[in-house]
Homo-oligomer: A and B are copies of this chain.
Amino acid sequence: MITIKEIAQLANVSVATVSYVLNNTGSVSEETRKRVLEIVNSHNYRANVVAKSLRTSISNTVGVVVEDITVWNSSEIIKGISKYVEQNNKHLILTDLGLLSKIGSNFQEVIKYREKVNNEIKLLLSAQVDGIIYIGMHDREIDNVIDKINKPIMYTYCYTNESSSNYISYDNIDISYKIAETFIKNKHTRIAVICGSYDAKPSYKRFCGFKKALDDYSITLDPAYIKTANWDYEQGYKCAVELLEGKNPPTAIFAMNDLMAAGVLKAARELSINIPEELSVIGFDNRELSMFTWPALTTVKIPLFEMGYNAAQGIYQIVNRKKIENSKHILSCELIERDTATRI
């Protein structure tokens, strides 16, 4: 790798001058600028970003801490960060906490890994990152996990209640309202819901949005139509069987994620209930599998890419002082209509 010093010698100027033309700073005569640029290009010179970063103490790299990269939502969020980073000539340094195999879906247990998490963040900090993006594997609070640091930190697919913190989240309430509304507009009145874990915030929020629509349209929600499952396929299946074998089975089910929705489809298949003619089903997440269920699942797309992109953008807004106040953004979801829900 050729250095700035060598370029300077070849161009018969000082390293300062080379630096000036490279960074478009200082004033350099057109003539020497041209000469330097020629040498730079012909030798394919690239500044050593390590040296640059040491000198300027801005590294142009963002540190990404992902709770588990194999969880379905992570890739698309990282893609969003990547896009921003690429467009703005930054770098991305990634740390995978690998929490899935450690705590499964007992999300509150992250606290057990507090030390590890903070250690990884310190490692990132020692690499002089400009800021940190923390990607949760489940949308929930993670207050008091990460120690205060003097670089901006942006949470996504999780959030904190700490007033000084920044996050990019998505809107559970509006879209859940819309799901119920979609059922209602298609003349359904016996509408059931299979919730995720009772203590999960997304569960709570989705229920609130859903319920609000029923209220607004004066449809009563029979308590027997409310099931609480645990986000997984088997439980979705079990709840659906209970629902569908009841004496007044629903004609529409909102399953709060695609896995449980797939369980509902399985139950319907076994009970010979036709979808969507006899039963409408809407899931949540738009995971890959939702395209390959039978019938293809109507579901909700979470703006993962945008969340990642905005998170990276937020970091640099703070770094560049373009924005003093904290960033707390909530992005909208989109209903993906496929074949499991009737349409007007």
Identify the A interface with B (CB < 8 A).
1, 44, 46-51, 53-54, 59, 61, 64, 69-70, 72, 74-76, 78-79, 82-83, 86, 91-96, 98, 122-123, 125-128, 233, 259, 262, 265-266, 269, 287-289, 291-294
Contact = CB atoms under 8 A, between A and B. Distances in A.
Copies of this chain, complex-wide, total 2
A48 B92 contact: no
A79 B69 contact: yes
B293 A292 contact: yes
A136 to B, nearest CB: 16
A96 B72 contact: no
12 contacts: A1-B126, A46-B123, A48-B128, A49-B127, A64-B94, A69-B82, A70-B79, A78-B94, A86-B95, A92-B93, A92-B94, A92-B95
A292 B289 contact: yes
Nearest to A46: B126
B75 A74 contact: yes
B61 A69 contact: no
Contacts of A49: 126-128
Nearest to A287: B288
B54 A233 contact: no
Contact of A75 (B54, B75, B95, B123): B75
A341 B339 CA distance: 28
Contacts of A50: 50, 53-54, 59, 127-128
Contact of A269 (B82, B292, B294): B294
A123 B266 CA distance: 49
A49 B123 CA distance: 9
Contact of A91 (B123, B233, B291): B123
Contact of A93 (B72, B94, B125): B94
B96 A78 contact: yes
Contact of A292 (B91, B98, B233): B233
A97 B51 CA distance: 26
Given A46-B122, A287-B288, 5 more contacts: A50-B53, A61-B93, A86-B96, A92-B93, A292-B292
